[in-house]
């Protein structure tokens, strides 16, 4: 069994805290055969099993579990074989390029009888922000591209004057905006300019105290952290400067997350990261779940051990 991580070009990654590099390095240290395949080198052919250019690598995991010294070393040609694992780790957005990678990887899966983690088609069968809509404790939300729908939603939310709008297919807080009833023109212009579907939610002021990130593998609970926005911000994304603190997810929420994981496992989604705000599930991250390093740092143990033991 070989592990091949399909990732974006290295220069796009934050090498000291990238979850893909961390998991790959942990697998390598555990004695597995691990390689990186860069998206720009990925191709498929209808007429042959074309070998792909992959890379060996060097990296160290420090005592605080952050990474140092990562670099790709020699390249070689690899032909996928039955039993190999392709870790599908390109970052969102789920745009045309991302979809092409999903479809291409599925052809590779069928031709070579490999496993994909998370299964690319399984992951894009769901939208990460919409998955929570099926839950009773999801945040009150509306998705539309019609301004009148948003206006009605805001006017009917009588206890709120501030709202959050966010795109459905971006990540790391990109495109998230806070508006209020006096700035409806801002929302109207954004809808006209983008012509895209947006999500709107009443602003939950508890976010300044932090949003929980809980990570599961095959339904097993790996742990949680609390993402606390930097002062003056409402964005809890670590890429937007939030800090992290220890958090232990309540048992009833763990059970709820496990139930969702069981459903997702049926489409090949094994690694799932939940964002939970004020005990409400706000997002179910399945395309490229992150924060494995931060979780390991806070809990002072390598949380990928359960992942590695499953291979």
Which CATH number applies to 206-286: 2.40.170.20, 3.30.470.20, 3.40.50.1000, 3.40.50.720?
3.30.470.20
Q: How many CB atoms lie within 10 A of CB 114?
A: 19
Which CATH number applies to 2-118: 3.40.50.720, 3.40.50.20, 3.30.2020.30, 3.40.50.1240?
3.40.50.20
Percent of the chain scoring above 70 in pLDDT: 97
* pLDDT tens sequence across 68-96: 999 999 999 999 999 999 999 999 888 99
- Contact assessment for residue 24 and residue 74, using Cβ atoms and an 8 Å cutoff: no
CA dist., res. 151 & res. 144, Å (int): 11
When pLDDT is averaged across residues 2-15 and rounded to a whole number, the result is 96
- Specify the pTM: 0.92
When pLDDT is averaged across residues 245-250 and rounded to a whole number, the result is 94
Higher pLDDT, 169 or 59: 59
* pLDDT tens sequence across 196-221: 899 999 988 888 888 999 999 999 99
When pLDDT is averaged across residues 46-55 and rounded to a whole number, the result is 86
CA dist., res. 234 & res. 209, Å (int): 9
Long-range contacts of 181-190 (CB under 8 A, 24+ apart): 181/154, 181/155, 184/151, 184/154, 187/147, 187/150, 188/147, 190/165
Q: Residues with Cβ < 8 Å from 75, sequence gap 6 or more?
A: 53, 54, 55, 56
3-state per-residue secondary structure call for 57-96? EEEEECCCCCEEEEEEEEEEEECCCCCCEEEECCCCCCCH
Rg of the Cα atoms in the chain: 20
* pLDDT tens sequence across 220-244: 999 999 998 877 676 666 766 778 9
User: Hey, what CATH topology would domain 140-203 get?
Assistant: Dna Ligase; domain 1 (3.30.1490)
Enumerate the domain spans of the chain: 2-118, 140-203, 206-286
pLDDT of residue 234: 67
* pLDDT tens sequence across 255-301: 999 999 999 999 999 999 999 999 999 899 999 999 999 999 999 99
The average confidence (pLDDT) of the chain is 92
- Contact assessment for residue 126 and residue 284, using Cβ atoms and an 8 Å cutoff: yes
- The residue written with tokens 């390249």 in the block is 75
Using left for φ > 0, alpha for ψ between -120 and 50, and beta otherwise, residue 236 falls in alpha
pLDDT of residue 235: 66
Dihedral sign, Cα of residue 294, residue 300, residue 302, residue 304 = negative
């Amino acid at each position: 069994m070989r592990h091949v991580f399909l990732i974006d070009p290295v220069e796009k990654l934050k090498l000291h805290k990238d979850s893909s590099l961390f998991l790959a390095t942990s697998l390598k240290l555990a004695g597995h055969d691990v390689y990186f395949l860069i998206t720009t080198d990925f191709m498929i052919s209808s007429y042959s099993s074309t070998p792909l250019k992959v890379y060996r690598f060097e990296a160290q995991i420090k005592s605080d579990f952050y990474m140092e010294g990562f670099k790709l070393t020699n390249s070689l040609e690899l032909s996928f074989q039955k039993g190999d694992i392709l870790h599908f780790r390109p970052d969102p957005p789920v745009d045309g390029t991302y979809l092409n990678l999903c479809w291409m990887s599925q052809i590779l899966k069928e031709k070579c009888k490999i496993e994909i983690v998370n299964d690319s088609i399984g992951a894009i069968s769901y939208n990460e922000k919409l998955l929570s809509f099926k839950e009773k404790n999801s945040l009150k939300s509306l998705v539309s591209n019609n301004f009148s729908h948003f206006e009605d939603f805001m006017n009917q939310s009588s206890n709120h004057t501030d709202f959050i709008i966010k795109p459905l297919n971006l990540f790391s807080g990109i495109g998230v905006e806070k508006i209020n009833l006096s700035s409806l023109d801002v929302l109207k212009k954004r809808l006209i300019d983008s012509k895209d579907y947006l999500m709107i939610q009443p602003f939950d002021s508890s976010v300044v105290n932090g949003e929980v990130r809980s990570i599961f593998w095959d339904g097993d609970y790996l742990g949680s952290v609390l993402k606390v926005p930097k002062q003056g911000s409402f964005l809890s994304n670590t890429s937007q400067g939030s800090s992290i603190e220890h958090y232990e997810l309540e048992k009833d929420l763990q059970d709820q997350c496990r139930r969702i994981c069981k459903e997702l496992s049926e489409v090949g989604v094994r690694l799932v990261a939940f964002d939970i705000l004020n005990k409400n599930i706000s997002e179910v991250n399945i395309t490229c779940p992150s924060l494995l390093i931060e979780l390991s740092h806070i809990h002072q143990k390598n949380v990928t051990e359960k992942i590695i033991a499953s291979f």
